[in-house]
Amino acid sequence: MGITKRFGALVANDSISLELARGEVLALLGENGAGKSTLVSILFGHYVADEGTITAFGEPLAPGDPAAALAAGIGMVHQHFTLADNLTVLDNILIGTEPLWQPFSRRRAARAKVRETAARFGLAVETRRKVSELSVGERQRVEILKALYRGARALILDEPTAVLTPQESRDLFATLRQLVAEGLSIIFISHKLDEVLAVSDRIAVLRHGRLVALRAVAGATKAELAELMVGRKVVMPTRERGALGAPVLQVRGVHARDAHGGVLLDDVDVSVRSGEIVAIAGVAGNGQHALAQLLSGTLAPDRGTVELLGRRLSATPRDWVAARVARVPEDRHAIGVIGDLTVWENAISEHLRTAAFTRAGFVRRSASRMHANSIVHRFDVRLSGIDVPARSLSGGNMQKLILGRALSVGASATPTLIVADHPTWGLDIGALAYVHQCLLDAASAGAAVLLISEDLDEIFALADAIAVMFHGRLSEARPAKTWTLSEIGLAMAGGGEAGSDEVTRAA
């Protein structure tokens, strides 16, 4: 109750009081930087509140102690899974549950308990399989099983459907209903308003660190929730289909392997024309990352050709940047920014050698900082100043900084090609609408856009054509209107075009 948390001059949580009842799903909504992550981090013991107290199941919760939170029955499933790929499901679940001085592991009893828990809550997964062999949906089940095995009575789910197919999301919701029926309480964090309305009992909305609304789901609407989140009416942009220009990007017969000989891309063809948005759908780990690497000069194909405006580009990032290819990488932490550099340094990092930011080998700090401030203002990056390290930004604000850098290649220049790899991942609905409008405007100005996304609502809202990637193979890029949601979901799971042996590809 009364939770307040400050980071310097920034008030991340401002006297927030909430209650979670037994067998209830409480959705936590808010735009990027609203304080959601800070609040649940305090609840789980990662942060210590400056003011306020937490009571769990009638007992005060020790601050800043994740072990105390676990012992009290609070579990958390993070947006980024925390599993060891080289260990089995059972090993991952047991990590941290047995004392180091115990002479032997009670694996037989543990396996029986895991199987009983899995059967009880509809979380079927084979305990002897390695995590590296599991689908994304199965990995999420393991994360939930980990929490339940430790006796969780309240579960925090942070963006639980961000990387799931529609079918996997439906399975998750069925599991949540079973958990709630058994008396488990759930805090559900999501930016997907349809899901919030489908699974929640009550909705708490944060804005600028304060609790601005607490609503029962009955009677709540998406429009009302969106306006409560951002403080204004949100209008989603719509795609106006216009005439398309000549091909900008042409990928033909590309095959690529990793350092161990594993196939990353298997005879991939794709073409994107000026003014066109081609979307690549697929579950994470099926080759989309390799395709994005190929189109940023960081991966060389074993065979096949890649042409931009009829010219072959080498696997050199500098050449792709010089050709005005804008990229939004999938992993914002590891690839998108250099965490220890400041926001303004990251804002110019991909264009550092241009005359706009460098003169006689020296960085033009005034011009660089002005450019960074322009990005911060235009893309509403919430921060305390451009001199803070990029790692201090929330995930959503980090993503907005990366987008601003990618779409601000010059005062009047439009990127030739935009490779947008999960461009709205982790963004609130207001920021999402703005990013969609930016991509649509860029396409209208003549840019070719390759959109890689797992958000099917986003794909249908933006794309002229859609292809599905599965195990490194790419289906034909068909007009968006010829696809159905179920067809794409099936193909993403390997049951459609992209998963078949005979794959028709775009010419």
Percent share of the chain, pLDDT over 90: 58
Query: Minimal CA–CA distance to 263: which of 251, 271, 255?
Result: 255
Tell me if residue 482 falls in helix, strand or coil.
helix
Residue 499 scores a pLDDT above 80: no
Complete domains list, the chain, with CATH: 3-230 (3.40.50.300), 245-316+447-507 (3.40.50.300)
Confidence at residue 506, expressed as pLDDT on a 0 to 100 scale: 33
Give phi and psi for 7, each to the nearest 5.
-120, 95
- The DSSP H or E segment spanning 246 is none
The Cα 325–Cα 107 span in angstroms is 52
Confidence at residue 105, expressed as pLDDT on a 0 to 100 scale: 65
Output the pTM of the full model.
0.73
- Residue 193 near residue 225, CB atoms below 8 Å: yes
Q: Which residues pair with 166 in a beta bridge?
A: none
Compute the mean pLDDT over every residue in the chain, rounded to the nearest whole number. 88
Confidence at residue 9, expressed as pLDDT on a 0 to 100 scale: 83
Confidence at residue 496, expressed as pLDDT on a 0 to 100 scale: 60
Residue 274 scores a pLDDT above 60: yes
Give the list of residues 6+ apart from residue 355 with CB closer than 8 angstroms, or none.
Answer: none
CA 454 to chain centroid, in Å, comes to 9
- Residue 395 binned pLDDT confidence (cut-offs 50, 70, 90): confident
How close are the terminal C-alpha atoms of the chain, in Å? 60
DSSP classification of residue 34: S
Confidence at residue 132, expressed as pLDDT on a 0 to 100 scale: 87
For residues 215-241, give the mean pLDDT. 89
Confidence at residue 504, expressed as pLDDT on a 0 to 100 scale: 33
Strands (E) across 372-506 are located at 417-421, 448-453, 465-470, 473-474, 478-479
The Cα 490–Cα 96 span in angstroms is 37
Cβ burial, residue 258 (10 Å; 0-12/13-18/19+): exposed
Confidence at residue 276, expressed as pLDDT on a 0 to 100 scale: 97
Strands 303-308 and 311-312: antiparallel
- Residue 74 near residue 52, CB atoms below 8 Å: no
- Residue 409 near residue 421, CB atoms below 8 Å: no
Strands 417-421 and 465-470: unpaired
H helix intervals, 51-164: 66-71, 89-94, 107-121, 136-149
Structure tokens at 73: 């029955």
- Sign, CA torsion 487/492/496/497: positive
The Cα 259–Cα 257 span in angstroms is 7
The Cα 473–Cα 286 span in angstroms is 8
The DSSP secondary structure of 250-266, one letter per residue, reads EEEEEEEE-TTS-EEEE
> For 77-100, how does the pLDDT look when each residue is reduced to its tens digit (9 = 90+)?
887 778 999 999 999 999 888 765
Confidence at residue 65, expressed as pLDDT on a 0 to 100 scale: 94
Confidence at residue 284, expressed as pLDDT on a 0 to 100 scale: 76
For residues 56-77, give the mean pLDDT. 94
DSSP classification of residue 495: S
DSSP classification of residue 88: B
Confidence at residue 500, expressed as pLDDT on a 0 to 100 scale: 47
H helix intervals, 122-273: 136-149, 166-181, 193-199, 222-230
> For 201-214, how does the pLDDT look when each residue is reduced to its tens digit (9 = 90+)?
999 999 999 999 99
- Residue 499 near residue 505, CB atoms below 8 Å: no
Confidence at residue 99, expressed as pLDDT on a 0 to 100 scale: 66
CA 111 to chain centroid, in Å, comes to 32
> For 147-197, how does the pLDDT look when each residue is reduced to its tens digit (9 = 90+)?
999 999 999 998 888 767 677 788 889 889 999 999 999 999 988 898 899
The Cα 359–Cα 490 span in angstroms is 53
Give the list of residues 6+ apart from residue 118 with CB closer than 8 angstroms, or none.
Answer: 124, 125, 141, 145
> For 277-331, how does the pLDDT look when each residue is reduced to its tens digit (9 = 90+)?
999 998 877 899 899 999 999 999 999 999 999 999 889 998 998 899 999 987 7
> Angle between the 166-181 and 485-492 helix axes, to the nearest 10 degrees?
90
For residues 4-28, give the mean pLDDT. 94
Structure tokens at 32: 């990027």
